[in-house]
Structure formats: C-alpha cells, structure tokens
Amino acid sequence: MHTVQKIMKVFVTRRIPQEGMKLLSQSGVCKVSLWDSDEPVPREELLKGVAGAHGLLCLLSDKIDTEVLDAAGPNLKVISTLSVGFDHMAMDEIKKRGVRVGYTPDVLTDATAELTVALLLATARRLPEGVQEVKNGGWSTWKPLWLCGYGLSGSTVGVIGLGRIGMAIARRLKPFGVKRLLYSGRAAKSYASEVEGEYVPLDTLVSHSDFVVVSCALTPETQGLCDKAFFSKMKNTAVFINTSRGAVVNQEDLYQALSTGQIACAGLDVTTPEPLPTDHPLLTLKNCVVLPHIGSATYSTRGIMAELSANNLLAGLQGKDMPSELKF
C-alpha cells in the first residue's frame, strides 16, 4: 500500500518569470493558482485567492497583514516573497501563526549595487538633464560652465547600512578614487576593512560625505530617517542616493532640501507611494532623478529570483530546509 501525497494549494500574486512558474507547475507538490497579470492583484482577489492556501508567493507590492493571514486560514504553512525586503509583511503576526517565510537575498545584490552606481553617476553628472538638452535644442555649443556636476575622485562616500547591497556598492565605488568610505548602522562590520570602511555615527556620516547612499532595510528605526534635520546637516554640494525603500526618506523634507539648495541633487530608485504620482513636486525638479524601483531588474536576476522564490515555497510546503529562509 502506498500513501497518497496531498496536493497543496498555492496562490501566486503576479505573473513571474517562467523559471519560477515552471518549477512550481512541474513539482507535483502543489496546485498553482495565479493572478495572471503584470499588474498588482486587487485586494479582494488577493483575499479570495489566498483562501485555504498552503503557500503564498507574493511581491513587495502586496501588503501581507492580519487580514490576508486570516483570509488564508490555518492551512498556510509558507510565504515566499520575490524580494529581499520584507517590510511589506506583518512579521509579528506571521511568526505568531508559525508560518515560515522565504526571501531572495544575495541573488540580487550585484544587480542592485550596479543600478545604485548607475543612478549615483547619472544624478551627480546630470545625465538625464544632458540627454534632455540634446533633444530639446538646449545644446548650443560647448560651454565651460554648463551642466557641471560632481565627481567621485577624491570624495567621501557615506553608506547608510553596510549590509549585502551596501557592501557591494562600496566595493564598486572605491575604484573610482573614493578617498574615504564612511558607513553607519547598528554595529561595525569586520568585513568593512576590505573597502577601508570607517564606522561612524550617523551625524558624522551625513555632515562629512560628498555622496550619501542609503542601502539599509526599512524598519521602525529607519522609517523617516532622512528628514529635515538630516538634510540640514548635509553639505550644500552633496549628492543623496536612495535605493532601499521610499519610506526611509521624508519626501517633503527632501523636496525642501533640493529646491532651496540645501543639498545638490538626489537620485531615488524607491519612493512613497510607488508609483510616484506624475504630478508629484519631486518630479518638477531638475536636480532629482527618479527611477521606477528597478534595482534588481536584469533579466537573469529576475529569473534567478523567481527560481529561488519557487524553491523556497516548495521546500516550505514539504517541511524541508529552504534555500533562503528568513529567520525572525
């Protein structure tokens, strides 16, 4: 006599790269129901889709709170998010219910660090403005005082949150001739010696840096960290870059700092809300470059993220070790 394996129910909240879908559909472990769209699942559909599910594969744009967990009910064993950030999930509630969580650290570190460097250079050297001037006829001749920006050579860079991505950013920036690499966070990192990183209080980092790069996680402590007081300590010539989460920044205060010349310019890959409304004041500023949260957006990275999130989900469903389980 052989035991019949129970087929478990899984809800996937968005169309994801086929590398991940293939693993799920060929696993023989679960029956997948998919919100088959590139657009976010409406809340009612999420609540309906998750009902009775054993597994949920979600995105950073899905708010996984008590209501969703209640709608899922007691079957829910595992949540796998297609992201390294997990600020969209009510971790305390998830823990209380004994639900395991998978996420996608490491595999997106290089892509996100590359994008951060690209955004920093584009912002500091005013690339979007330059491209615009070429198209609109503003380029009349070579002018000694036109479209000048800021360079990394000989500069001081401050990284807020020298974690996986922060360190990968630091490694990439150092060869540009960065003179001092400062970092802040909750604790000094032994691995920072590789980039000659100096662990300093946040205030020191903010006031000494020519480039301030935010790469920390969004937590209650980091929410609104970059506010009026923060920007007022920055140099007038300093460049501010955020590729972590929008809510780390008070955007009204950032707008004031940029529009009054308190700081030189800012590059943001993340905002609140996302998408940023097209009439948002930040988008009226030439010295603010805003990208649509594309840090990890390379074809191969997204494929690997999908594969990892599928494998996390399958392992969780089967009570096995996950390739990347979030310990919380």
Near ligand NDP by CB under 6 A: residue from 163, 197, 267, 316 = 163
- Determine the Cα angle at 61 with ends 113 and 216, to 5°: 35
Q: Which of 228, 244, 229, 181 is nearest to 209 (CA)?
A: 181
Nearer to ligand DGY, 60 or 212 (CB): 60
Residue 84 as a binder of ligand DGY (CB under 6 A): the answer is yes
- When asked if residue 108 is in the footprint of ligand DGY (CB under 6 A), the reply is yes
- 98 sits in the region (left: phi over 0; alpha: psi -120 to 50; else beta) called left
In angstroms, the CA 227 to CA 254 distance is 7
Q: Helices in 32-186 by DSSP H: which ranges? A: 43-50, 66-72, 91-96, 109-124, 127-136, 164-173
As a whole number of angstroms, the distance between CA 123 and CA 216 comes to 20
Q: Which is nearer to ligand NDP, 61 or 259 (CB)?
A: 61
- Say whether residue 209 binds ligand NDP (CB under 6 A): no
What is d(CA 84, CA 34) in angstroms, rounded to the nearest whole number?
21
Does 293 qualify as catalytic in the annotation? yes
Residues in 143-162 at the binding interface with ligand NDP, rule: CB under 6 A: 160-162
Radius of gyration of the chain (CA): 22
Of the residues 83, 123, 156, 309, which one makes contact with ligand DGY according to CB under 6 A:
83
Q: Judged by CB, which is closer to ligand DGY: 206, or 225?
A: 225
112 binds ligand NDP (CB under 6 A): yes
Residues 28 to 67 in contact with ligand DGY, rule: CB under 6 A: 60
Residues near ligand NDP (CB under 6 A) are: 84-85, 105, 108, 112, 160-166, 184-187, 215-219, 221-222, 243-245, 269-270, 293, 295-296
Residue numbers annotated as active site: 293
